[in-house]
């Protein structure tokens, strides 16, 4: 009999219950007992859902108060030592201090979990860490599930992935130096689970999907040989890409089973199907844990039915990865009542499966294998109907869009003239001083702005009143920027709740759910829009706001767009066509927007790509293919601009040095980029590579209300000038200012402008402007 399980479930709750409980606890409005009750309630609910769907195991260990990697450190007693907490008696409050910082400690660093938008807390490896054991929370949860009568499978991040994802802070020459201690820690945890009667532990080693060097690969065999001796049966789990490269290694490991992500990499089944030992479990991730589409059950059954007759009990069906990465329950999506409301209609809902629906799909697949398809007729019919209507729906397929994408030529991705010619035309048009000052786009999103937007959505604020209100905000932002004497202005983005959702709402082919929340980190959730059809721009999206803003000033006003790669990366995307095709369609919509902005007299247009790097595949050998289409999509969106129209782009919070040639290939006239957190280290890369176009390294971090001093920014600018020719240097903050308050923003920007002025005075007279003559 085939079995079914999931690598993990979302913990935030269908109504974001955990988020609100956490935030209540941090504010002091609920006590720890109430918070713990909420956690217990959610775990109970999620296990019940798994059991009701007919899964054979409920997964324990996927719950986390903040993050599963921090949870693993707490379990092992390996929280960063600089906090000075007693590992064995770590309190929940200590745990939150690790995650969020406290008055004496800055928070642990946070970074993206592989290629997802989930952020984990980065372990801090120091020679003094002990791994001797920590909190008992996991064991309590196992007992909790067992008391409820569930069959328990525990899920844990694996020791090598844990080590790999941490950062060496001191006293170690290689992360693997810690392996003997980590292994001891895991042995203790696993032995204790076994003594509690746990039969299976799913041990996640997603690093297997990377291109590991020999030293890391070679660490697997001794590690698992040591763990297998004391542990319950181990299900070695990988996801987010294929592990066929490691097939031989996996066969050697003394584990009782492996889990493969067949959604991301269906081809890898070939490397395992024939000769994976019959007495070991093969868990196949066939339901997409990263996307919201209903599974094509027939297609899955075609693949797994022959395997089932060979393997029987040894075949497990699963979601490709933890359901942490999809919203919890489609049933929460009430149909939208008002035009402006978010929400999904019945047809869209018939195409989607969120977490709970994915459990049901797994239950149906398992039943179909064990009892024959007739036992799940209704589920198969629903799946067929969805697949069938998605193939033909006029909402999805737009022949105009398809024709236009197919007709694109290399010339369409090419600006009229090379950068040197364009920048000369742009200088002649604006005559900006050296070191032009600007901002990244958003200004403080005050409570007032958010209330007005919400009232408009509810229908409590009329259309004209809303326009009026937003125009007042823009007028205010423009007046302030003129007062401070910034050189290039922005309208401030008061009308945007989110830089992707705002465009998603206006483009055909995009749907915005009302409740499709996914945990991003801690209590923070995002609600990615869904791209379900060919993307088409029915009308201009930003032009009236920009035109109005420009009418208020004689200084250049930047139009503000979200780039094709970021639109793609921060949405749930179609699974019926390559990502690249969707990116190109978005690029075409943006290309028309650029043209309309230009026609409306907007001479500078910024196309933000903060998520450009996030799209990189896990395996470096796959990078060039991605970068090629990603760069092309950006260029398609920008290339129709005239020479004297200045195209800006913006990127932030990623490592850029290893993709600089590609960033240069995007050929934006100006890039503004976050750098101040790394004290301009990033710029060394830009200097060495000799980045050819204009560049604005962020001179202050926008994440803190702290107002940077003039001298600090001057120091950073001088550093920047060591690697970037002064005539190509812009001055700006790291990122948008929407999370800041006006008071600190105005002070910080005034200081920034002052720093620019002082620096200009140091330049030779000929370069001080207004007539910037060079090249």
Bridge partners for 536 per DSSP: 508
Minimum CB distance to ligand GLN smaller for 56 or for 608: 608
Give me the sheet containing 3-5, strands edge to edge.
Answer: 3-5, 315-319, 281-287, 257-261, 233-237, 200-204, 152-157, 58-60
Q: Are 510 and 529 in contact (CB under 8 A)?
A: yes
- Near ligand GLN by CB under 6 A, which window of 215-223, 273-281, 578-586, 735-743? 735-743
How many whole angstroms separate alpha carbon 207 and alpha carbon 264?
Answer: 15
How many whole angstroms separate alpha carbon 509 and alpha carbon 454?
Answer: 24
* Tokens describing residue 591: 């290309």
Minimum CB distance to ligand GLN, residue 672 (Å): 9
Q: Closest by alpha carbon to 272, among 249, 247, 254, 255?
A: 247
Query: Interaction with ligand GLN in 606-645: which residues (CB under 6 A)?
Result: 608, 610
Minimum CB distance to ligand GLN, residue 738 (Å): 5
Bridge partners for 156 per DSSP: 203
How many whole angstroms separate alpha carbon 275 and alpha carbon 265?
Answer: 18
User: Binding marks (x or -) toward ligand GLN, 53..92, rule CB under 6 A?
Assistant: ----------------------------------------
Among Zn ion, ligand GLN, none, the one that 294 touches (CB under a kind-dependent 5 to 8 A) is: none
- Near Zn ion by CB under 5 A, which window of 183-191, 269-277, 288-296, 609-617? 609-617
Minimum CB distance to Zn ion, residue 616 (Å): 18
Query: Interaction with ligand GLN in 644-663: which residues (CB under 6 A)?
Result: 650, 652
* Alpha-helical segments (H) within 110-178: 137-147, 159-165
Minimum CB distance to ligand GLN smaller for 650 or for 719: 650
Contacts of 188 (CB under 8 A, 6+ apart): 132, 133
Minimum CB distance to ligand GLN smaller for 360 or for 608: 608
* Tokens describing residue 519: 């945990």
Minimum CB distance to ligand GLN smaller for 289 or for 698: 698
Minimum CB distance to ligand GLN, residue 595 (Å): 20
Q: Closest by alpha carbon to 136, among 80, 227, 74, 178?
A: 74
Minimum CB distance to Zn ion smaller for 347 or for 679: 679
How many whole angstroms separate alpha carbon 698 and alpha carbon 679?
Answer: 10
Minimum CB distance to Zn ion, residue 596 (Å): 24
Q: Is 610 in the site for Zn ion (CB under 5 A)?
A: yes
Among Zn ion, ligand GLN, none, the one that 613 touches (CB under a kind-dependent 5 to 8 A) is: none
703 is annotated as an active-site residue: yes
Q: Are 347 and 265 in contact (CB under 8 A)?
A: no
Q: Are 215 and 185 in contact (CB under 8 A)?
A: no
Minimum CB distance to Zn ion smaller for 412 or for 701: 701
Minimum CB distance to Zn ion smaller for 253 or for 652: 652
- Near Zn ion by CB under 5 A, which window of 115-123, 283-291, 455-463, 604-612? 604-612
- Pairing relation of β-strands 530-536 and 508-511? antiparallel
Minimum CB distance to Zn ion smaller for 724 or for 735: 735
Q: Is 673 in the site for ligand GLN (CB under 6 A)?
A: no
Q: Is 702 in the site for ligand GLN (CB under 6 A)?
A: no
Minimum CB distance to ligand GLN, residue 35 (Å): 31
* Alpha-helical segments (H) within 210-330: 214-228, 247-252, 269-273, 297-311
Q: Is 738 in the site for ligand GLN (CB under 6 A)?
A: yes
Q: Are 724 and 687 in contact (CB under 8 A)?
A: yes
Residue entry with tokens 């035109």: 547
Among Zn ion, ligand GLN, none, the one that 560 touches (CB under a kind-dependent 5 to 8 A) is: ligand GLN
Among ligand GLN, Zn ion, none, the one that 752 touches (CB under a kind-dependent 5 to 8 A) is: none
Minimum CB distance to ligand GLN smaller for 387 or for 702: 702
Minimum CB distance to ligand GLN smaller for 39 or for 492: 492
Give CA angle at 547 (596, 603), nearest 5°. 65
- Near Zn ion by CB under 5 A, which window of 365-373, 382-390, 602-610, 722-730? 602-610
Minimum CB distance to ligand GLN, residue 393 (Å): 33
Please report, for residues 534, 607, 629, 663, the alpha-carbon distance to residue 634 in angstroms, rounded to integers and kept in the order given. Answer: 18, 8, 9, 10
Among Zn ion, ligand GLN, none, the one that 300 touches (CB under a kind-dependent 5 to 8 A) is: none
Give the distance from CA 67 to its chain's centroid: 15
Among ligand GLN, Zn ion, none, the one that 285 touches (CB under a kind-dependent 5 to 8 A) is: none
Minimum CB distance to Zn ion, residue 610 (Å): 5
Q: Are 81 and 126 in contact (CB under 8 A)?
A: yes
Query: Interaction with ligand GLN in 458-477: which residues (CB under 6 A)?
Result: none
How many whole angstroms separate alpha carbon 580 and alpha carbon 565?
Answer: 9
Q: Is 560 in the site for ligand GLN (CB under 6 A)?
A: yes
Q: How far apart are the first and last CA of the chain?
A: 74
Query: Interaction with Zn ion in 720-739: which residues (CB under 5 A)?
Result: 735
Q: Closest by alpha carbon to 189, among 296, 339, 75, 311?
A: 75
* Alpha-helical segments (H) within 148-178: 159-165
Among Zn ion, ligand GLN, none, the one that 436 touches (CB under a kind-dependent 5 to 8 A) is: none
Minimum CB distance to ligand GLN smaller for 603 or for 610: 610
Q: Are 518 and 327 in contact (CB under 8 A)?
A: yes
Q: Closest by alpha carbon to 440, among 601, 591, 608?
A: 608
Number of neighbours of residue 523 by Cβ within 10 angstroms: 21
* Tokens describing residue 39: 């956690």
Q: Which residue is nearest to ligand GLN (CB)?
A: 736
User: Binding marks (x or -) toward ligand GLN, 406..445, rule CB under 6 A?
Assistant: ----------------------------------xxx---
Among Zn ion, ligand GLN, none, the one that 499 touches (CB under a kind-dependent 5 to 8 A) is: ligand GLN
Minimum CB distance to Zn ion, residue 110 (Å): 16
Size of the site for ligand GLN (CB under 6 A): 13
Among Zn ion, ligand GLN, none, the one that 442 touches (CB under a kind-dependent 5 to 8 A) is: ligand GLN
- Near ligand GLN by CB under 6 A, which window of 240-248, 571-579, 731-739, 744-752? 731-739
* Alpha-helical segments (H) within 336-462: 346-351, 355-371, 377-392, 399-406, 419-430, 447-458
Size of the site for Zn ion (CB under 5 A): 3
Q: Is 611 in the site for Zn ion (CB under 5 A)?
A: no
Q: Closest by alpha carbon to 297, among 370, 376, 390?
A: 376
Catalytic residue (choose from 150, 397, 648, 703): 703
Per CB under 6 A, the list member of 736, 745, 748, 755 interacting with ligand GLN is 736
- Residue 287, helix vs strand vs coil: strand
- Hey, which bits of 113-188 come out as E strands? 119-121, 124-126, 152-157, 167-170
How many whole angstroms separate alpha carbon 133 and alpha carbon 484?
Answer: 56
Minimum CB distance to Zn ion, residue 606 (Å): 11
Residues forming contacts to ligand GLN in the complex (CB under 6 A) are 440-442, 493, 499, 560, 608, 610, 650, 652, 735-736, 738
Q: Which residues are catalytic?
A: 703
Residues forming contacts to Zn ion in the complex (CB under 5 A) are 610, 652, 735
């Amino acid at each position: 009999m085939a079995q079914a399980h999931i690598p993990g479930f979302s913990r935030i709750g269908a109504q974001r219950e955990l988020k609100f409980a956490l935030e209540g606890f941090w504010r002091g409005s609920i006590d720890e007992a109430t918070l713990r009750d909420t956690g217990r309630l959610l775990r109970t609910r999620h296990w019940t859902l798994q059991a009701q769907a007919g899964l054979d195991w409920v997964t324990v260990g996927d719950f986390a108060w903040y993050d599963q990697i921090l949870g693993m450190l707490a379990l092992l007693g390996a929280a960063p030592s600089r906090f000075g907490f007693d590992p064995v008696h770590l309190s929940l409050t200590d745990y939150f201090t690790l995650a969020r910082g406290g008055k004496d400690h800055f928070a642990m660093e946070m970074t993206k979990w592989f290629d997802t938008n989930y952020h984990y807390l980065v372990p801090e490896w120091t020679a003094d860490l002990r791994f001797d054991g920590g909190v008992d929370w996991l064991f309590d949860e196992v007992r909790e599930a067992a008391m409820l009568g569930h069959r328990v499978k525990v899920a844990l991040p694996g020791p090598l992935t844990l080590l790999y994802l941490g950062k060496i802070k001191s006293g170690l020459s290689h992360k693997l130096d810690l392996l003997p201690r980590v292994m001891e820690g895991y042995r203790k945890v696993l032995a204790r689970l076994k003594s509690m009667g746990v039969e299976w532990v799913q041990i996640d080693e997603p690093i297997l999907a990377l291109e590991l060097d020999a030293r890391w690969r070679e660490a697997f065999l001794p590690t698992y040989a040591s763990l297998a001796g004391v542990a319950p049966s181990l299900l070695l789990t990988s996801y987010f890409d294929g592990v066929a490269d490691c097939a031989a290694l996996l066969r050697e490991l003394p584990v009782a089973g492996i889990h493969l992500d067949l959604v991301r990499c269906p081809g890898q089944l070939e490397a395992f199907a024939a000769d994976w030992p019959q007495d070991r479990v093969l868990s196949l991730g066939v339901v997409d844990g990263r996307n919201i589409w209903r599974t094509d059950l027939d297609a899955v059954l075609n693949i797994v039915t022959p395997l089932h007759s060979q393997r029987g009990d040894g075949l497990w069906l699963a979601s490709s990865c933890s359901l942490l990465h999809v919203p919890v329950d489609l049933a929460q999506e009430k149909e939208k009542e008002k035009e402006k409301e978010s929400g999904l209609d019945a047809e869209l809902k018939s195409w989607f499966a969120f977490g709970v629906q994915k459990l049901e799909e797994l239950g149906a697949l398992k039943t179909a294998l064990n009892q024959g398809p007739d036992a799940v007729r209704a589920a198969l019919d629903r799946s067929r109907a969805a697949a069938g209507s998605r193939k033909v729906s006029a909402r999805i397929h737009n022949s105009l869009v398809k024709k236009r994408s197919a007709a694109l030529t290399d010339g369409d991705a090419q600006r009229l003239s090379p950068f040197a010619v364009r920048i000369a035309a742009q200088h002649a048009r604006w005559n900006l001083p050296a070191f032009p000052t600007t901002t990244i786009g958003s200004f403080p999103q005050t409570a007032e702005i958010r209330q007005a937007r919400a009232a408009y959505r509810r229908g409590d604020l009329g259309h004209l009143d809303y326009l009026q209100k937003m125009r007042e905000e823009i007028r205010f932002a423009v007046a302030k920027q003129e007062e401070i004497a910034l050189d290039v202005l922005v309208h401030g983005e008061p009308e945007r709740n989110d830089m992707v959702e705002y465009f998603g709402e206006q483009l055909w082919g995009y749907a915005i759910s009302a409740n499709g929340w996914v945990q991003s980190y801690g209590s923070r959730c995002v609600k990615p829009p869904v791209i379900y059809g060919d993307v088409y721009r029915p009308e201009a999206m930003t032009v009236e706001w920009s035109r109005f803003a420009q009418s208020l000033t004689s200084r250049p006003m930047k139009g503000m767009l979200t780039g094709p790669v970021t639109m793609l990366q921060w949405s749930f995307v179609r699974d019926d066509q390559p990502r690249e095709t969707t990116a190109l369609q978005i690029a075409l919509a943006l290309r028309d927007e650029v043209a309309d902005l230009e026609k409306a007299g907007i001479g500078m247009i910024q196309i933000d790509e903060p998520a450009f790097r996030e799209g990189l595949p896990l395996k470096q050998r796959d990078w060039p293919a991605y970068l090629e289409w990603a760069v092309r999509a950006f260029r398609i969106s920008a290339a129709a601009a005239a020479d004297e129209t200045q195209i800006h782009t913006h990127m932030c919070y990623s490592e850029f040095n290893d993709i600089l040639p590609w960033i240069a290939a995007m050929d934006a006239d100006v890039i503004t980029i976050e750098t101040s957190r790394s004290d301009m280290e990033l710029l060394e890369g830009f200097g060495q590579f000799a980045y050819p176009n204009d560049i604005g390294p962020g001179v202050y971090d926008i994440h803190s209300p702290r107002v940077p001093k003039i001298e600090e920014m001057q120091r950073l600018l001088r550093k920047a000038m060591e690697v970037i020719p002064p005539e190509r240097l812009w001055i700006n903050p790291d990122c948008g200012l929407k999370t800041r308050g006006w008071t600190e923003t105005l002070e910080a920007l005034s200081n920034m402008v002052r720093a620019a002025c002082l620096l200009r005075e140091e330049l030779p007279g000929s370069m001080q402007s207004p007539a910037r003559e060079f090249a």
